[in-house]
Amino acid sequence: MMRLPKMDYAAPPTLSEVCVLMSEQQEKAELLAGGTDLLPACKLRNKQPTLLVSLGKIPSLKDIRFDESEGLRIGAMTSLNALRYDPLAIAHYPALIEAAAAVGTTQLQHMGTLGGNICLDTRCTYYNQSESWRQTRAVCLKMGGEVCHVVPKGNKCYAVFSGDMAPVLLALDARLKLASSAGERSLRLSEFYSGDGRKPLLIRPGEILEAVIVPPPAGKESSAYLKYRVRGAIDFPLAGVAVRLAATADGLCRDCSVAITAVSSAPVQVPEAADLLKGKSVTAELINKAAQETSRAAHPVANAFGATPSYRRKMIGILTRRTLTSLAQNLGMAVR
C-alpha cells in the first residue's frame, strides 16, 4: 500500500476558523474535502502539505437550496452522490445529475464533493506517478521543475483539467462564492480557471470555495452532459461536453451554451459554437457546424492514457453533436 506522509490534521467547526488557519499556514496547508483527489496526490508525493484542514465539520457547507430568483445554491461540501439524487437538481438541471453520475465510481461519488471536483488538480501521465517513478526523469514543470515530458520543447505545463462538473456549471453560467479572512467574493466560474496546468485555479491564498450558485432556468430549457472515457466507470473523461439549450415558444433556439472539459488545462466555454445556434431553427446542418466549432476549440496533448489527442478532439465534435441533437429533440425543436 502507498503510505501518506506524516501530516497534521485540523477540522475547525466554523468557516471563519478555517479561513484563519488557511491564511496563517498559506502553502503548507491543503484543504481537505472528500480527499479523493488530494489524498492520492499526497501518497504519490505530488503534494506534501504539513497540515490538512478538513471542511467536514461545517454542516452549512452541505446545504442545497433553491430559490426562484437566485437559483440553486449548492454548498461546496455537498457530495456528488447527494447532488446526484437531489430532487431540486434533478428537477431543474439534468446535466448536473448526468455529470455527477459520471464521476469515477459510486464510492468516489459518495466521498467526492462538488467543490472538490471543481477544484480538481490538473493531471498528466508524467505527473500522477509515485515519487520513485518520477525520479527516473528530470523534474517536470508541474512538479516545480523546468521541463515538460509531454511537449519537450514547450515552456508551458499542459497538464489536463479532468473534472466533470465544471463544464456543466460553465454551460449553466454558475457563480462561485469564495470566503476568506478578508471577506467574501463572488465570481463567475469562467473566471476561476487560469489555463495554466501548473496552477489551474485563480484562487487567492487563504481563499475557500464555499458554494456554487446556478442561475434559475428560464422558460423552456434543458441541459445535458456527455463524457468519453475508456470504461463505463472509474475513468476520468478523455473528452466531455456540456450543453444548455433554451427554446422559444415557436421552437427556435433562444439561448445556447457549450462547454468542454478534459482537452486542455481548463474547462472552457465555446461561444463560437453556441452563437451559431442562437435565434436559429436548429437543423442537423447547424448542429454539425457547431460540433465542428467545438472540436476546433479543443487542444488536447498526449498526456492521458486511453486515447490520442486527435481522437479526443474528434470525440468532442461527436459528443457535441449528440448532446445538441438529443436536447433539441427533448425540447421539441425540429431537427432536420
Partner 1 sequence: MNSESYAYIGRKQPQIDGLAKATGEAKFTTDLVLPRMLIGKLLGSPYPHARVRNVDASRALALKGVKAVVTGKDVPGKKYGVFVSRMDETGLTVKARFVGDPVAAVAAVDEETAMEALGLISVDYEILPAVFDPEEAMKEGAPVIHDEYERNIVADTHYDFGDVEAGFRECDHIREDNFFSQTVSHATLEPRGVLADCDVAGKLTLWTSTQAPFQVRRDIIRALDIPASKLRVIKAHVGGGFGGKADTYPMQVAATLLAMKTGRPLKIIATREEEINVRRRAPMSIFTKTGVKKDGAIMAQYLKILADSGAYSSTSILMMYNSGLTCMIPYRIPNFKYDGYQIYTNKMVTGAMRGHGANQPRFAVESQLDMIAEDIGMDPADLRLRNASQKGDTTVSGLHFVSCELSRSIEESTRNVGWKEKRRQKGTNRGIGIACGGFVCGARISGHTASGTNIHVHEDGGVTVITGSADIGQGSNSVMAQFVAEELGIPLSDISVIAADTETTPIDNGTFSSRVTFYGGNATLLAAREVKQMMAGIAATLLKSNAEDIVFRDKLVFVRDDPSRSIPFGKLAKATEGMGHGRLIIGQGQWAPTNTQFPDKKTKWGNVSGSYSFATQIAEVEVDTETGQVKVISITIGDDCGQVINPLSVQGQADGSVAMGIGHALLEQLLFGSNGQLMNPSLLDFKIPTAMECPPTTLLEVGTPDPIGPYGAKEIGEGLLITTVPAICNAIYNAVGVRITELPITPEKILKALDEKKRREKP
Pick from 311, 326, 331, 335: which binds partner 1 (CB under 8 A)? 311
- In angstroms, the CA 142 to CA 156 distance is 9
Q: Compare residues 231 and 336 and give the one whose CB is closer to partner 1.
A: 231
String of DSSP letters for 108-123: HHHH-BHHHHHTPPPB
Nearest distance, CB of residue 66 and partner 1, angstroms: 32
* Count of residues interacting with partner 1 (CB under 8 A): 26
Query: Is residue 315 a contact point for partner 1 (CB under 8 A)?
Result: yes
Show the cell assigned to 100. Answer: 455527477
Query: Is residue 155 a contact point for partner 1 (CB under 8 A)?
Result: no
Q: What angle do CA 113, 118, 122 make, to 5 degrees?
A: 115
For residue 335, the Cα-to-chain-centroid distance in whole angstroms is: 30
Query: Exposed e or buried b for every residue in 320-331, given b needs 16+ CB within 10 A?
Result: bbbbbbbbbeeb
Beta bridge partners of 75: 211
Pick from 154, 284, 305, 330: which binds partner 1 (CB under 8 A)? 305
Secondary structure (3-state) at 255: strand
Pick from 29, 228, 320, 323: which binds partner 1 (CB under 8 A)? 228
Q: Compare residues 245 and 315 and give the one whose CB is closer to partner 1.
A: 315
Residue 113's CB is within 10 A of a number of other CB atoms, namely 30
Query: Is residue 130 a contact point for partner 1 (CB under 8 A)?
Result: yes
Which helix or strand (DSSP H or E) is residue 3 part of?
Answer: none
Q: Compare residues 91 and 230 and give the one whose CB is closer to partner 1.
A: 230
Nearest distance, CB of residue 311 and partner 1, angstroms: 5
Pick from 16, 308, 329, 330: which binds partner 1 (CB under 8 A)? 308
Window 75-114: contact mask with partner 1 (x via CB under 8 A): ----------------------------------------
Nearest distance, CB of residue 4 and partner 1, angstroms: 9
Residue 8's CB is within 10 A of a number of other CB atoms, namely 12
Query: Is residue 233 a contact point for partner 1 (CB under 8 A)?
Result: yes
- List CB contacts of 43: < 8 A, sequence separation 6 or more: 2, 3, 4, 130
- List CB contacts of 177: < 8 A, sequence separation 6 or more: 184, 185, 186, 209, 210, 211, 212, 213
Nearest distance, CB of residue 134 and partner 1, angstroms: 10
Nearest distance, CB of residue 236 and partner 1, angstroms: 8
Nearest distance, CB of residue 3 and partner 1, angstroms: 6
Pick from 26, 69, 136, 155: which binds partner 1 (CB under 8 A)? 136
Pick from 68, 232, 250, 336: which binds partner 1 (CB under 8 A)? 232
Window 186-225: contact mask with partner 1 (x via CB under 8 A): ----------------------------------------
HSE, CB side, 13 Å, CA atoms: give it for residue 268.
23
Relative orientation angle of helices 309-330 and 284-296, to the nearest 10 degrees: 150
Query: Is residue 307 a contact point for partner 1 (CB under 8 A)?
Result: yes
Query: Is residue 6 a contact point for partner 1 (CB under 8 A)?
Result: yes
- In angstroms, the CA 265 to CA 242 distance is 17
Provide the binding-site residues for partner 1, judged by CB under 8 A.
1-3, 6, 125, 130, 132-133, 135-137, 228, 230-235, 305-308, 311, 314-315, 318
